[in-house]
Amino acid sequence: MTKKATKKNPAVKSRPVLVTTAHRGVFFGYLVGKPGKDCKLRAARNVVYWSSDVRGFLGLAANGPTPGCRIGPAANVDLRDLTCIAEVAPAAARAFEAAPWA
């Protein structure tokens, strides 16, 4: 997703990602800027629980959450101590936007 360019902000690009942290956090959101040890996510959603049919956190990135998952509401966040940033497939991003909570 790309936001409209402005004079103050020439081009803010974001892409759907799944981020894990050293503190066992798992988050879906739209990566803003270039990550380092930290990253900023727009419209981030905490993955509170995923069911076994998802087949792990990379299954979330590939296919998105299923009805048995618990996905929290969206908020802009800064994450620290990153362990993984995985690209999220377009269909998976749409599933996250539905924010299932069983």
- Residue-wise pLDDT for 88-102, tens only, equals 999 999 999 998 786
Q: Is 102 buried (19+), middle (13-18) or exposed (0-12) by CB count in 10 A?
A: exposed
Q: Decide the pairing of beta strands 14-21 and 82-87.
A: antiparallel
Note the pLDDT of residue 22. Answer: 96
Element (DSSP H or E) covering residue 99: none
Cα 53 to Cα 76: distance, rounded to the nearest angstrom: 28
Instruction: Round to the nearest angstrom and report the end-to-end CA distance of the chain.
Output: 28
Mean pLDDT of 25-35: 96
Cα 18 to Cα 27: distance, rounded to the nearest angstrom: 6
Note the pLDDT of residue 12. Answer: 56
Indicate the CATH number of 14-97 among 2.10.10.90, 2.30.30.100, 3.40.47.10, 3.10.20.590.
2.30.30.100
Tell me the domain boundaries of the chain: 14-97
| pTM for this predicted structure | 0.85
Query: pLDDT over 70 for what percent of the chain?
Result: 86
48 has a pLDDT exceeding 80:
yes
